[in-house]
Amino acid sequence: MTTPLSDEFRAAAQRSRAAARSLRTLTADEKNRALAVIAEQLDRDGEQIAAANAEDLARAQQQGTAAGLLDRLTLTQDRLDEIVEAIAVVRDLPDPIGEVIRGYRLPNGLSVEQIRVPMGVVGMIYEARPNVTVDAATLCLKSGNAALLRGSASAANTNAALVATMRRALMSESMSADSIQLVPGTGHETVDELIGARGLVDVVIPRGGAELINRVVTGASVPVIETGVGNCHIYVDAAANLDQAVAIVVNAKTQRPSVCNAAETLLVHRAVSDEFLAKVSVALADHDVTLHADEEATAAVAGSGVEAVPVTDADWAAEYYSFDLAVGVVDSVDQAINHIQRWSSGHTEAILSDSATTVQHFLAAVDSAAIAVNASTRFTDGGELGFGAEIGISTQKLHARGPMALPELTTTTFVITGNGHIRS
């Protein structure tokens, strides 16, 4: 049943639609100038933004929020600097609007072009991470869309400060501040309003845990681009460079375990399992990683100093957000592939192998949004892949898949040009 729209929400959505109409006509230079001013204003307002984030963190700590979620909520000066730098990268990317996807002339003389155009109003629903507020807003602006943002209540003060800063920057450029808006309110009903605002909102993108994503996908009347949870796997093949593999596994698990591209499951070929697990467990013990291991893996890590507990089906399915890693020993690449097909969320898988034949087989058989070859899963990220930022990582198969940036925030229009043509 569709949730009735409150007067306050309807008014905000209508302002977003009006802003979207004005954004469609902006030049690339005008949008780039606005992005530059936003970056400058965020830099100037750093102390205010930090104070707002401190309030959110204090409240979250009082509520007993888990360490991984606290990390996602935290906006340090270094992270704010990274956000500002990401805006510069987005600004310097080619403007996707007006790009000709295909163009041709028919035998009757009609010219046909399919060109990129903005979506319109992009609704964004996300949890905890305040950097998403800026990433989503600036990617939408560059692609000519209005952003209607619904962050989590846990980051309410931080998000309000960030949006206020960006709106001031837009007004200083005589642009509509309503190009970037927060959904009014933080109650659960505001999610239902946003996903039910068909005709006012053109697309909704949820970004968060499985519960949030499932709620949006199953309850929305607005079209949804589904992003996915990150139960990411690493398979260490019999032909892997084991020293290199140790570094990759440690990076993928420990560099930032609270994000969706962190590794959650490690599968190791039996031919190298004893040697590799003995090496990697020592390195993981230095980071206080807990292994949820099958019997063979448990035996292989004995004496390394790492904590190992019996693995369960819940572990194979888990996105931990923590220093926990499920570990299993497999007989072959095909057994690893079968395990991934059963338990993966379709986000990112990695194969570590020097066998070109095995790698190609893995690439052909594994059906996920991203596959890393002899590299960390942590590279499935818009910034790392040269997009400047990302609005999410799509695990669906329609329109957009993998890290989503500017092209994925556009749709297309067919322009049919004739010279008095009529159809007989």
Position 233 scores a pLDDT of 98
Torsions phi, psi for 109 (to 5 deg) = 95, -10
User: What single string gives the DSSP state of each residue in 199-264?
Assistant: TTBSEEEEES-HHHHHHHHHH-SS-B--B----EEEEE-TTS-HHHHHHHHHHHHHS-TTSTTSEE
Position 189 scores a pLDDT of 92
User: Could you tell me the pLDDT band of residue 357, with boundaries at 50, 70 and 90?
Assistant: very high
Least confident of 99-113, 145-159, 206-220, 311-325: 206-220
**CA nearest 128: which of 74, 164, 166?**
74
pLDDT, tens only, 296-310: 999 999 989 999 999
pLDDT exceeds 90 at position 37: yes
Position 228 scores a pLDDT of 76
Distance CA 208, CA 202 (A): 20
What CATH code is assigned to 7-226+396-417?
Answer: 3.40.605.10
pLDDT, tens only, 232-278: 999 999 999 999 999 999 999 999 998 899 999 999 999 999 999 99
Distance CA 302, CA 285 (A): 12
Position 1 scores a pLDDT of 54
pTM score of the predicted model = 0.87
Domain segments of the chain as ranges: 7-226+396-417, 232-379
Distance CA 46, CA 6 (A): 34
pLDDT, tens only, 66-94: 887 898 899 999 999 999 999 999 999 99
The reply to whether domains 7-226+396-417 and 232-379 share a CATH topology is no
Position 397 scores a pLDDT of 87
- Alpha-carbon distances of 330 from 340, 361, 415, rounded to whole Å: 12, 16, 54
Beta bridge partners of 416: 112
Position 38 scores a pLDDT of 98
Q: Choose which CATH entry (3.40.50.620, 3.40.710.10, 3.40.309.10, 2.40.50.100) describes domain 232-379.
A: 3.40.309.10
Residues 6+ apart with CB under 8 A from 132: 124, 126, 151, 207, 391
Q: What percent of the chain has pLDDT over 70?
A: 100
Query: Any idea what the Cα angle at residue 291 is, between residues 285 and 295, rounded to 5°?
Result: 125
pLDDT, tens only, 394-422: 988 888 999 999 999 999 999 999 999 99
If you average pLDDT over residues 106-125, what whole number do you get?
A: 98
User: What single string gives the DSSP state of each residue in 10-73?
Assistant: HHHHHHHHHHHHHHTT--HHHHHHHHHHHHHHHHHTHHHHHHHHHHHHHHHHHTT--HHHHHHH
- Alpha-carbon distances of 40 from 3, 88, 130, 170, 364, rounded to whole Å: 39, 10, 18, 12, 45
